[in-house]
Amino acid sequence: MIEKIKHILEIEELRKRIAYTLIMLAVYRLGTHIPVPGVDPQTLAHYFNAAGGALFNIYNLFSGGALGRLSVFALGIMPYISAAIIMQLLTAVVPTLERYQKEEGEYGRWKITQYTRYLTIAIAMFQSFALATWISNITTETGERLISMSPILFIFLTTVIITTGVVFLMWIGERITEFGIGNGISMLIMASIVARIPDAVISTYQQLKAGSLSPFQVGTAIAIIIIVVAGIIYIQEAERRIPINYARRNIGSIGETATYIPFKLNPAGVIPIIFAVAVLMFPATIAQMFVEKSHIARIIVDILSPQSYIYFVIYVALIIFFSYFYTAILVNPQDIAENLRKSGAFIPGVRAGKQTAEYLNYVLTRIVFVGSLFLAAIAVLPMFLIKWLDVPFYFGGTSALIVVVVALDTLHQIEAHLAMKRYEGFLKRG
């Protein structure tokens, strides 16, 4: 471990990328503690803790506690994720967007990214306006408002500030992806979840000390988390290897040529979980703001509450759907079959061309189904067990999945940089 850290520090580019990522994450964490003007963060946090419920706890988890303080990053990066979901769905049905993605190359990807940014701003403006309007109408038990300025001025300032915060977070995520290490958006979400772990641990310890939690409950919860983390690593690293043969080989080539196609059991990684949470949180959050005035809003909140069994069913269905949907974007069996044909490679017992594409699609469909079921089980099972144990520990399956998968992806990128450095050294010696 120490040797690997030394190797990482020896590579200047990798050292700069890691330092850049840490600086950007520090800026993000600093922003989560800067509240918008016109509201007392302590009074607001007290109100949320008393009346927030499970939905608030989940949203506050994904914003790194920023929502509870109504900071400039109160919405976190979730509006960008919602916009990305909408754009990817539109790409599958709108011919112009599909052409941008498949035929226009770098320019097409840039156009889709621009549309995603514009849609992010629109979603952030709507959500921040709704949030500010809701908070401006809240009164405490003593009949006092939570805000200390004119409601119109508060709504205007809060909408502008929080929308700007979302745009700034979007920029931070893109900069981390380009100049840092790992996927920037995923890193921001992981940082939000990890930042909440100390509070959860302290709260659990205090309740254990006070006697409201038994050592058996806490021990069982810890055991569940360990098993979930081990399961996540197993699923994320598991792959189906499809053997391939070459009609001819180049003699004297340096290194070994791969003789199989690796298909991950979970090709989409953590994206299905993040997308499923975003889809469920958006209508639930809007309905929560009108729950006192609308019976329909109350029904929506009850259905989409994380404590509802209907929520679990919808959550599992969304995870399976997005697993297939995002895998279809990442992996194209027809392209793989065409590339194999051009390189003179073939799968034993399968004809090149159309039959190869059909075979790859058949294999991919089966392993994604198994992987999505495992993914859904790991996301949902800890929620049931922790609910049954009555443990107020919010680092459940969803949080563990995001943290572990993003950490593994980041470690793989670091290892790729290390391998590239060793390869460059080999060429120089040659």
> Residue with structure tokens 């593994």?
408
Total domains present in the chain: 1
Q: What pLDDT, on a 0 to 100 scale, did the predictor assign at position 421? A: 67
* Tokens matching residue 321: 């759907």
Contact criterion met (CB below 8 Å) for 378 and 372: no
Q: What percent of the chain shows pLDDT beyond 70?
A: 84
Q: What pLDDT, on a 0 to 100 scale, did the predictor assign at position 254? A: 43
User: Average per-residue pLDDT in the chain?
Assistant: 79
132-144 CB burial, b ≥16 within 10 A, e <16: bbbbbebeeeeee
Between 393 and 104, where is the model more confident?
Answer: 104
Q: What pLDDT, on a 0 to 100 scale, did the predictor assign at position 140? A: 67
What is the three-class DSSP state of 35?
Answer: strand
> Residue with structure tokens 């058996």?
216
Mean pLDDT of 274-292: 76
Between 319 and 231, where is the model more confident?
Answer: 319
Give the domain CATH number at 155.
1.10.3370.10
Residue 118 scores a pLDDT above 90: yes
What is the three-class DSSP state of 267?
Answer: coil
Residue 125 scores a pLDDT above 90: yes
> pLDDT tens digit string along 55-99?
566 667 777 777 778 889 988 888 898 888 888 888 878 888 878
The winner for highest mean pLDDT among 141-150, 199-208, 354-363, 398-407 is: 354-363
**What is the span of the domain harbouring residue 251?**
2-429
Q: What percent of the chain shows pLDDT beyond 90?
A: 10
Q: What pLDDT, on a 0 to 100 scale, did the predictor assign at position 388? A: 66
Confidence at 382, pLDDT banded by 50, 70, 90: low
Give the angle subtended at the CA of 28 by the CAs of 23 and 32, to the nearest 5°.
145
Contact criterion met (CB below 8 Å) for 400 and 372: no
The winner for highest mean pLDDT among 65-79, 141-155, 383-397 is: 65-79
